[in-house]
Structure 1
Amino acid sequence: MVQVHLDLSNPQTHLVDVRVQIESPHQHQKVSLPGWTPGSYLIRDYVKQLEGFKACQQGLERPFNRSAPSTWLIDADPDRGPLTLTYSVMATELTVRTCHLDQDHGFLALAAVVLEVDGHRWQPHRLTCVLPEGWNAFVPLPEDSTGCWLAADLDQLIDSPIEAGPHQAHRFSVFGLPHRWVTWFSDPADEAWFFDRFPRFFEDVEQVCLACCRLMGQSAPACADYLFVLHLLDEGYGGLEHDDSTVLVYGRRNLEASHGYRKLLQLIAHEYFHQWNVRRLTPAELRPIDYQHATVVPTLWFAEGVTSYFDQLLPLHAGLCSAKDYLNDLEEDLSRYMLSPGRQVQTLRQSSEEAWVKLYKADAYSASNQISYYLKGAVVALCLDLHLRSHQSCLAAVVQQLWHSHGRHRRGYQESDLFSAFEAAAPGLGARLQQWLTEVDDPDCSGYLLDVGLALEPEMSTHPWTGMTTRLDGGRVLVQRVQRHSPAERAGLMVGDELIGVAGQRVAQPDQISPLLRAEESQPLLMARRSALRELALRSDPPKPKRYKLVPVSNPTASQQAGQDAWLQQRAG
């Protein structure tokens, strides 16, 4: 067994002191700190937060050398008993995939904390924690009689986030299985505000969980004991799924918006649904996980896009929003997709394969050369669902079939397995799906929506199109984004340029620019780059759509209305 001991007793230092004890070390023992955490596809080099590494046996330090930035080779004596490794981890980054420790709470993503001991990955790991007085630790692992947590292997331990603090857990059940909910309010005053405003919150969460089970055709969750952790901050949005838990970040300001509570329920639905799709119904490339290197996963669009498609529907199925609310949210996503120029450059499969180097490393030019596999994956999922409905099936039925063939047995699926499943449900759909994945042309979303009595219509801007966006920074109007093949690009503008005047008029605010523009007419533009003044010629294009609206067709047929009712209620076609 590998013993892991974490000391959080000095939160004011933001340091987590770690002790890893290897009962039976190898003579040349290799240990490594993971470079990323499953579910967040970016090499994060957690080792940059590690300091003070030492190795000891029987109180004597053992020599070691570093074979890689996050890997140590230790000269151990197998006859001298356990090998003890000690080090500290700086915990100052507050996200769902990193570590944060202060006087108010502690959160640990264990991929950033626990070493992988070569030759011991698949052996049991025992976890103990020392906490400040009055704190509790919430860990999605079974406890033994001494209050220690037990993981079957390193993977289960790394998959177990730790939330600690003076919080209390709310308990409820889903189909008789226990669930815990823990919230850390970064402003303690927000707790009373939250529950006064949303008094039925836990009942609503339970209904979302039940809707997830029903969507999967299951009479119980995939997990026998589930932990929710929510960090309610002033601002923020995100989540990270685990086998038996999820960690969520949400902003109080988001909740003050009219749709904010519904968006929180959608986030909860997204991460909870992942206990089926991703955590157990898993791409084969992630079995087993390589904690040191990026792994190309061509099916991330299915893992995240299908989940994103369903997360908007699940609050509707749970009776927590109206069909109009759902269609408004779908309209927002479809509009965002249609206004994403990068969809004409990067295919959906490329988006999945390049997640490690593009999606999580976006810059000011990313919108022009990439498309999110979350966003386009959800659009493709919508098209798959509506196509399947014309063949007396639905997307949920295909996901359920894949669950029974692969997920229940934790048998990783290949992309070819997805093609086969969709082909079996609707002949010809496998080939169509492959086309949607490998080409930049949009799927016929408008045609599929027409089948359920809806039309996707552009709403035109009243101003000429330049392909640039601007922002105010310290009294200067700066170019924030320049779209590829746009008038702004043709004029020679680039991100970071300061705009001073357009058509002979001084501009001091971004909203002063559009009224000065004339379509298909060359106009002088005065700007500064690296302190040098320049004058460019900007020839704007005619107005383009500023958004897309989802509207009901006039006089829908009985078939269209029946199709829409079955779709929104998620009944098979």
Structure 2
Amino acid sequence: MPTSFLPSLSLDLRAPESQLVGVRLRYQPSRQLLRFALPAWTPGSYLIRDYVRQLEGLEVVQAGRVLQPRRVGTSRWELALPGLEPVEIRYRILATELTVRTCHLDGDHGFLALAAVALELEGERWSAHRLCLQLPPGWQAFVPLPADPDGGWTARHFDALVDTPVEVGPHPCHAFAVAGVPHRWVTWGRTLSGGDLPQEDPRWLADVEQVCLACCRLMGVDRPAADHYLVVLHLNADGYGGLEHDTSTVLQYGRRRLARPDGRRKLLQLVAHEYLHQWNVRRLRPAELTPYAYGQAVVIPTLWFAEGITSYVDQLLPFSAGLGSVEELLEDLGSDLSRYLLTPGRAVQSLRQSGEEAWVKLYRADAHSPNNQISYYLKGAVLALVLDLHLRRHGSGLPVVLRCLWHRLGRAGRGYREADLIAAFAAEAGDLASLLPAWLEGVEDPPLADYLADVGLMLESRRSPSLWLGWQLQSRPEGLTLQRVVRDSPAQRAGFTVGDELLALNGWRLHQPEDLKAVLAGCVAAPPLRVLYARDGQVRSAELEPEPPAVEAWTLRIDPAAGEGAEDRRRRWLALECP
């Protein structure tokens, strides 16, 4: 089809100080009933975001006439056209939210998640779409789409357009290759010392390349799934996160995080996580996401595999690439196990439920969430560890299952269901046909200690030096308030709720957490504590019965009494080697 007939999305970013993106969507209609919609969410981030909140000034122009479409849903419109002349849909997008899944534009840069920008035209989803950008002087665009001769880009269909993150600005671009496949690295933002990350760290791109190659080895392939790849890093004050795409990823990372002793290692793990998603999630995809339904939430029972497996191996991949030490890796794995074991919600919400309820729980976390839910990222990673070690008892390993699923389903882009996953694991260890569904459906912890013992490891607990009250405090200008109350804890039994302001304990005035620690340090036994607090403007009192000190952290240690062969099994496991 001639490019003049393709739907064409033109974005005007020449007034970045306004934080408004001017949008013109031109296309040639083939029928007079025009219907279009704006996506409500973006793949990889399972929350209805109602991007329409940032849309303004919508109008349709045909043959010089301005037409007003009729809204038939919160983000859907329709219009009976007078004729079949070319149509231009005009609107503006307010770009004020800096995340990897929203839009942000200012005098320094612009970032667009096109799910928040591009209208889907009924009947044109599988048509090629053109993208054109108008930029401020001195800026350039970083777009993971094939360029066209007219200075724009062409997406093979609407899904590919929505899957395209757009970064613009006066940024340097760094080229490198992974198994001969061209890659680009673009950073917006500076390190604490004021430099560009790859320029400041001469080893950075070489290490990223090794992590990417480790992903290829894990999947049993010689080269990346994409034939070109773009990495965009937003280096801001203290962010963290990423979003995967077919041929790119966008990362957000805090410069203060980067300056920590483990900052570089953690950023490499984030790179590994998002890079692996070009296989697991993007091409090896849950059937419920094949194709995407941009206007509604879809229940996905298998997010434990899509994200949990990836969250588990993202720590192992840099190590398997020769980056980091065993001690650092055990510290990272132990930290995740500690977070898991200290989350009460793991005994309330099953792993399958965590994925099914992602749209309404995980991305809407509040002060009560740790009590009634568990992240499928976190619990999924713990289950992945258990599955990997279980498979190794049977002479196999998690990489074998991943490769099998990739070759059987991922290469063809065939979506999987939970039954496919269970069958793939059971093919390597028959007892997983019953064990895996039980672990997915139940809320009991899998036998972690037994599996860790196989590789000569053990979990050691560390108890708090203070009596356990079951609350977490936060210092605010108005005083010391309860940020969290643990379910079935002394604080909950005494009637405390999130938001209560603590005034005094045993007659001593409280201003900050250190005041509370000083009073508790003087309690040699565990008598009832007299608490004066305020709620809704009223001063109240209560008696609090503390309990003995609770476990505040778990540490993963090498067991000096481990049996013969444990060290070799541990080495092969941590390096993602299979028997």
TM-score (norm 1): 0.98
Is 1:66 matched with 2:68?
Answer: no
Residue number in structure 1 paired with 2:418: 415
Is 1:557 matched with 2:563?
Answer: yes
Question: What is the aligned counterpart of 2:156 among 138, 141, 152?
Answer: 152
**Matches of 2:195 and 2:433, distance apart in 1:** 49
Question: What is the aligned counterpart of 2:540 among 527, 534, 537?
Answer: 534
**Matches of 1:348 and 1:511, distance apart in 2:** 37
Provide the secondary structure at the position in 1 that maps to 2:318.
helix
- How far residue 491 of structure 1 moved from its aligned partner, in angstroms, is 0.4
**Matches of 2:548 and 2:31, distance apart in 1:** 71
Greater alpha carbon shift after TM alignment, 31-40 vs 500-509: 500-509
Equivalent pair of 1:25/1:77 in contact (CA under 8 Å): no
Residue number in structure 2 paired with 1:37: 42
Q: What is the one-letter code of the residue matched to 1:159?
A: D
Is 1:351 matched with 2:354?
Answer: yes
Q: What is the one-letter code of the residue matched to 1:307?
A: T
Provide the secondary structure at the position in 2 that maps to 1:67.
strand
Residue number in structure 2 paired with 1:454: 457
Residue number in structure 1 paired with 2:578: 572
Greater alpha carbon shift after TM alignment, 306-315 vs 17-26: 17-26
Residue number in structure 1 paired with 2:531: 525
**After superposition, what is the alpha-carbon deviation per residue over 1:424-474, rounded to whole angstroms, capped at 9, x for unaligned?**
110111211111111110011111000000011211122111110101101
Provide the secondary structure at the position in 2 that maps to 1:513.
helix
- How far residue 189 of structure 1 moved from its aligned partner, in angstroms, is 6.3
Within 5 Å, which residues of 2 pair with 1:162-177? 162-177=166-181
**After superposition, what is the alpha-carbon deviation per residue over 1:100-143, rounded to whole angstroms, capped at 9, x for unaligned?**
11111110000000000011111110111111111100111001
Unaligned runs of 5+ in 1: none
Residue number in structure 1 paired with 2:491: 488
Provide the secondary structure at the position in 2 that maps to 1:558.
coil
CA RMSD of aligned residues (A): 1.3
**Matches of 1:532 and 1:100, distance apart in 2:** 43
Equivalent pair of 1:41/1:360 in contact (CA under 8 Å): yes
Is 1:181 matched with 2:192?
Answer: no
Equivalent pair of 1:186/1:234 in contact (CA under 8 Å): no
Question: What is the aligned counterpart of 2:80 among 75, 78, 93?
Answer: 75
**After superposition, what is the alpha-carbon deviation per residue over 1:339-367, rounded to whole angstroms, capped at 9, x for unaligned?**
00110111111110011000110111111
Q: What is the one-letter code of the residue matched to 2:538?
A: A
Is 1:111 matched with 2:115?
Answer: yes
**After superposition, what is the alpha-carbon deviation per residue over 1:273-315, rounded to whole angstroms, capped at 9, x for unaligned?**
0000000000000011010100000001110010000100011
**Matches of 1:336 and 1:529, distance apart in 2:** 30
**Matches of 1:482 and 1:447, distance apart in 2:** 32
Q: What is the one-letter code of the residue matched to 1:528?
A: A
Provide the secondary structure at the position in 2 that maps to 1:272.
helix
Residue number in structure 1 paired with 2:309: 306
Question: What is the aligned counterpart of 1:471 among 466, 470, 474?
Answer: 474
**Matches of 2:139 and 2:324, distance apart in 1:** 37
- How far residue 524 of structure 1 moved from its aligned partner, in angstroms, is 1.0
TM-score (norm 2): 0.97
Q: Quick one: percent identity of the two aligned structures? A: 53
- How far residue 368 of structure 1 moved from its aligned partner, in angstroms, is 0.5
Within 5 Å, which residues of 2 pair with 1:8-47? 8-47=13-52
Q: What is the one-letter code of the residue matched to 2:9?
A: V
Question: What is the aligned counterpart of 2:236 among 233, 238, 250?
Answer: 233
Greater alpha carbon shift after TM alignment, 25-34 vs 101-110: 25-34
Within 5 Å, which residues of 2 pair with 1:232-251? 232-251=235-254
Tell me the matched-pair count. Answer: 571
- How far residue 542 of structure 1 moved from its aligned partner, in angstroms, is 1.3
Q: What is the one-letter code of the residue matched to 1:311?
A: D
**Matches of 2:115 and 2:166, distance apart in 1:** 11
**Cα pair distance change 1:188/1:92, threshold 3 Å:** farther
Equivalent pair of 2:397/2:578 in contact (CA under 8 Å): yes
- How far residue 520 of structure 1 moved from its aligned partner, in angstroms, is 4.6
Equivalent pair of 1:283/1:413 in contact (CA under 8 Å): yes
**Matches of 1:431 and 1:2, distance apart in 2:** 50
Within 5 Å, which residues of 2 pair with 1:261-272? 261-272=264-275
**Matches of 2:244 and 2:471, distance apart in 1:** 36
**After superposition, what is the alpha-carbon deviation per residue over 1:476-510, rounded to whole angstroms, capped at 9, x for unaligned?**
11111001111000001011111011122222211
